Homo-oligomer: A and B are copies of this chain.
């Protein structure tokens, strides 16, 4: 089987994970990754054997000065790529689309930091894989939107649900970030409710009303969501549990096993031996699932660095029509990532 050539633009938090996931697939390979500066992550690309490209001539020069092996400037990578996964910081992807990908007639996958309009479609594999098949520009949605869409999508596919209200307690920064805070504060962010997450979920689940409110707090490990889902029929607690348990890319936790907070959830991921202690699943507390007065409640943890990684792999398959059956693509992805 010949492998499609994937170029990863931006070898950072998402890009380095996508590269590793791509390299685990039998139908795709990492053609190269880009970086602007000779950071430890650029060196990591060398060490892992991913061809390293500079975003500019200056980048290439800085790599050479740092003793890093480099294949040259980004442009030459683009010439050979079947698809780009754009993992650059928010809003840069949209610029790259106009300046590079469209002129070079390249297909591209974007991340959730971009506006929905960057893609012809927004993508969560288990909900709308089919709509991205053969498209040229597809946006994988953000970690929060992915996690909420999976859970709400699963519920709405099996039960009749009304308005959903979700509170997002967001980790303020990723574990790797030592420069930003807060150290001791709660930030309403955005300050107004409903937050932008609700409309973003509607790019995936257009027929549902989802109201979201979000804050940022001094933690790095995971986001935590508290969901309140109005039920239109008499679904029981075990109905809701069954749906969430059986949904793909969810994992149900039992607090009696010691899962008191996001800290224990991440410790569990470390014990699982997952690369970088990544969690690709919605981590749902089984004991938090309650149904009362026709409303369902539960808590879930979302690992912001990794939850979209399998989505990126599936999006590559959809866009390049490597697989037109969503379930088969996800089966393959999940098996390689030990989901």
Contacts and interface: CB of A to CB of B under 8 A. Distances in A.
Interface of A: 165, 167, 169, 171, 182, 184-188, 191-194, 211, 213, 215-222, 224, 226, 228, 255, 260-264, 285, 287-288, 290, 292, 295, 297-299, 301
B185 A288 contact: no
A186 B217 contact: yes
Contact of A187 (B165, B191, B260, B287): B260
Copies of this protein chain in the complex: 2
Contacts of A285: 188, 191
A167 B227 CA distance: 10
Contacts of A184: 218-221, 263
A211 B295 contact: yes
B299 A188 contact: yes
A200 B223 CA distance: 28
A182 B184 CA distance: 12
Contacts of A299: 188, 191, 193, 215
The residue among A216, A218, A285 with the most chain B CB atoms within 10 A of its own CB is A218
Contacts of A287: 191-192
The residue among A171, A287, A299, A301 with the most chain B CB atoms within 10 A of its own CB is A299
A233 B308 CA distance: 41
A194 B260 contact: no
29 contacts: A165-B165, A169-B169, A169-B215, A169-B217, A182-B219, A182-B263, A184-B218, A184-B219, A184-B263, A185-B219, A186-B221, A186-B224, A186-B262, A187-B260, A187-B261, A187-B262, A188-B224, A188-B261, A188-B285, A192-B287, A192-B290, A192-B297, A193-B228, A193-B299, A194-B290, A211-B228, A213-B226, A213-B228, A215-B224
A185 B261 contact: yes
Query: What 4 pairs between A and B have smallest CB-CB spacing?
Result: A193-B297, A185-B263, A167-B167, A185-B261
Contacts of A182: 219, 261, 263
Contacts of A297: 192-194, 213
Given A213-B167, A226-B167, A228-B213, A186 B295 contact: no
A288 B217 contact: no
A187 B299 CA distance: 10
Nearest to A297: B193
A279 to B, nearest CB: 14
Contacts of A193: 226, 228, 288, 290, 297-299
A295 B198 CA distance: 15
A297 to B, nearest CB: 4
Contacts of A191: 255, 285, 287-288, 299
Given A187-B261, A192-B297, 13 more contacts: A167-B226, A184-B263, A186-B224, A186-B262, A187-B260, A188-B224, A191-B255, A191-B288, A193-B288, A194-B297, A213-B228, A215-B226, A218-B219
A295 B297 CA distance: 19
Contact of A217 (B219, B290, B292): B219
Nearest to A228: B165
Contacts of A220: 184
